[in-house]
Structure 1
């Protein structure tokens, strides 16, 4: 067991944003989170990262209630790449990635060999070794996203949470980023807009609508023409490749 929620409820004022959300993210698997705008995806991710507290229900990490775990301890194992992450434009890439080591360091501790190794491994894993000394403002959109992921990986997390990381990237960088995340040997939960990317790369999917989970399971079970029509309001034909169980969506005019 990695991350698990049970009857999770979160509100803004009297408005229910998440309504009795229950699921489990299995270790080492990539879980895709889908749903129209306003379905509660970002709110759920922020709760999973420990940035907000639920009004009721439970979130557990390896069976332990997240509410009983200190914020620093959560940050040592759960890394969150937000949709609109910002970075000081005067920093180099390696300095950005080093920020990921803060949860593992005390106020008075110096930089260690373990910190250096974690940063170098994160840069290599994210494919940013060649850009380690590049100034932030010189990076492309795809490179910036990879640098944000490298910073998250420098935390040495067991779980990686990403909120629509492929937004505003060209198709080449979208595919490259999805391959990067899919190949990581850790649990990942990723909110996505592109349904075909979710079907192609994710091991399991959750579909949300108005704060509730309306479908969950493997891509071939979740990506049905009924779900696409009822949740996303699109007419489409879903085909499954004879070479693998991954569905592909063909949108109809």
Structure 2
């Protein structure tokens, strides 16, 4: 396992946000993180990415505590796309994506053909190759999100962490993004709101409630009518068949 979480606890003041969470992310697979607002998804992702330190427990990369690994070394292998990522400067799209190559370059190194190839491939995969020379402030919200994803892909990561990356995207690009991430030969952990997207694309799911794991397993094991009612407070029918093992959720009135 490349990413392992060992009994981590994280608090704000006296309030416990993440409460004794442990799991392993299957190497080369997509792990979906689900839960209602306030369940701790974003905090957990930031802990996994090493942007926060747990009050107890640890996150390990290949059995090494991420807190003992330098930020540059972590960034060479792990990319994190935040939910509300921003870029203030009015750069060209290609220049934003080039930022993803910084962990792989020294202060004295020049731009290499390998850097250029990584950036062009990332732009193409994220579906914004034709926007490469557009200015940042001219982009729509969805285009900005895809540019941030391209920047993450330009890091050539072994692990990819995404916090609700389909927000602000139309349905075509939501599906395209999920197909893209699920098809990458890397370990990915992705927080999602859309339960059907989680069922369609994720290999395994974790459901959080009040900072604790309440369900973990394959989509057909986790997404039950009982769980949807108890955790998400929705009435739904979960459908599957012998020909299509992944569940489909039909919401009821």
Q: Same fold (TM over 0.5)?
A: yes
| 3-state SS of 1:108 partner | coil
The structural deviation recorded for 1:127 is: 2.3
Cα distance in 2 between the residues matched to 1:181 and 1:165: 10
Q: For 1:102, what is the secondary structure of its paired residue?
A: helix
CA separation in 2, counterparts of 1:139 and 1:173?
15
Once the two structures are superposed, the pairs formed by residues 177-216 of structure 1 within 5 Å of their partners are 177-216=177-216
Q: What are the residue-to-residue correspondences of 1:140-219 with 2, within 5 Å?
A: 140-219=140-219
Quick check: 1:89–1:135 contact (8 Å CA) kept in 2?
Answer: no
1:73 Cα deviation from its structure 2 partner: 0.5
Counterpart in the other structure of 1:84 = 84
Q: 1:113 corresponds to which residue?
A: 113
**Aligned equivalents of 2:152 and 2:241: distance in 1?**
34
Are 2:128 and 1:128 aligned? yes
- Displacement of 1:140 in angstroms is 3.1
Counterpart-to-counterpart distance in 1, 2:247 and 2:89? 41
Q: Deviations over 1:118-159 (max 9, x none)?
A: 212212222222221122233333322221111001111100
Give the ranges of 4+ consecutive aligned residues of structure 1 lying more than 6 Å apart after TM superposition: none
- Which deviates the most, 92-101 or 82-91? 82-91
Structure 1 Cα separation of the partners of residues 142 and 246 of structure 2: 25
Note the C-alpha offset of 1:89: 5.2
Identify the residue that residue 38 of structure 2 maps to in structure 1.
38
For residues 187-206 of structure 1, what are the alpha-carbon distances to aligned partners after superposition, in whole Å with 9 as ceiling and x for unaligned?
A: 11100111111111111100
Could you tell me how far 1:183 is from its partner in structure 2?
1.4
Give the aligned partner of residue 231 of structure 2.
231
Pairing 1:98–2:95 present: no
SS at match of 2:87: coil
Name the count of aligned residue pairs: 253
Cα distance in 1, alignment partners of residues 170 and 117 from structure 2: 31
Unpaired runs of 5+ in structure 2? none
Structure 1: gaps spanning 5 or more residues: none
